[in-house]
Amino acid sequence: MERPERNLLVAFLLLLPLVSVNSHPNSVTWCVLSDAEEQKCLDLSGNATAQNIRGSLECVRGLNTRDCMDKIKNGTADACTMSGDDIYAAGFCHGLELAAGESHNGIDGISYYVVAMARRSSSDLSLLEMHERSSCHPGITHHAVGNFFGYSCVPGMKDSQHDPKGTNPKNLCEACIGDENDRHICANNHRERHYGEAGALRCVAENLGDVAFIKHTTIFENSDGRNQESWALDLELEDLKLLCPDGTEAGLDEYERCHLAAVPTNAVVVRTENRCRVWKYLERLQRVVGSYTSWLGPTYTTMLQAFECEGFC
């Protein structure tokens, strides 16, 4: 099927999140997370009604992005605008899909790729055989987290918020080091020195982890002298490699073919069965309303790229 290449405006993604039970097949409900988002949503809804656009837009308040994910999954919401890490969690944990995504280059709408990075000297590594290996992750809400490694550093895994009963495996924090005084080990903040994108890379650089699951840009931002922290001073691009899902290896510049996930900057998250219905409503808005600078302001002019409906239209 031919991939849709029509553009929408970024106002949809940055300002509106969707949520509600739909009684009309052409209606869409957006889950919003703040007063400002709610007002923008209401403004767009009123503008769409005034333009006699087929369908209706409703706005419902969510407690947080996870609440919006739950609402979409259980059918009390249609869609929500989310950013990179939340998009990954929505798909990985809730089985949600994308209807449209923000595009800065007008082509693919991709913000970053989630890659598996390892030291080039680790010649016997493969993502297909990691049972006795160690892994490093930016945090509990970031990228892929699994308990199929020998041990890991997943900051936040033992926090009371994420482990209220204290039953999460201890090995998921064994590659963490805490602060300079050996406190705050596995904390879900920067007091844990292996927290965050750079922290996960550091975990591998310091030989405490075999593989780091990070953004592809993290490697380039912290190597070849770009990061002046002691652990990164001698880190060079030629010392690192990517591990691909099929068990092969690749160079650092081959992230477009060797990655675990491609994450848009911002995107509209929906249930699979609503993917094309939401997209078509956004398309009708774009076709009739056109540019939104007259009522949203000049900030919201970044173009969006539609994601393929994959046979659901």
- Structural domains in the chain, CATH included, are 7-109+265-306 (3.40.190.10), 112-262 (3.40.190.10)
Q: List phi, psi (to 5°) of 91.
A: -80, -45
CA distances from residue 39 to 6, 27, 173, 264 in whole angstroms, order as listed: 27, 18, 42, 25
Q: What is the pLDDT of residues 74-111, one digit of tens each?
A: 888 898 888 766 777 787 677 888 777 665 444 555 67
Going by their DSSP bridges, the two strands 97-102 and 151-153 should be labelled as unpaired
Q: What three-state secondary structure class fits 116?
A: strand
- Which helix (H) or strand (E) is 205 found in, with range? helix 196-205
Q: What three-state secondary structure class fits 278?
A: helix
- Which helix (H) or strand (E) is 287 found in, with range? helix 275-289
Pair 274, 79: CB distance under 8 Å: yes
What type of residue is 1?
Answer: M
Per the listing, tokens 């880190």 go with 235
Pair 36, 273: CB distance under 8 Å: no
Indicate the length of the chain as a whole number: 313
The tens place of each residue's pLDDT in the chain, 313 residues long, gives: 444 434 443 333 334 443 334 445 678 888 988 877 888 888 888 888 888 888 888 888 888 888 999 999 988 889 888 876 677 778 767 788 877 766 544 455 567 888 999 999 988 889 888 888 999 998 876 554 555 688 899 998 888 877 888 888 899 999 999 999 999 999 988 899 999 889 999 999 999 999 999 989 899 989 888 888 999 998 999 999 999 999 999 999 999 999 988 776 677 888 888 887 888 887 787 776 654 333 223 332 333 333 333 333 2
Per the listing, tokens 């509990």 go with 140
Q: Supply the pTM of this predicted model.
A: 0.60
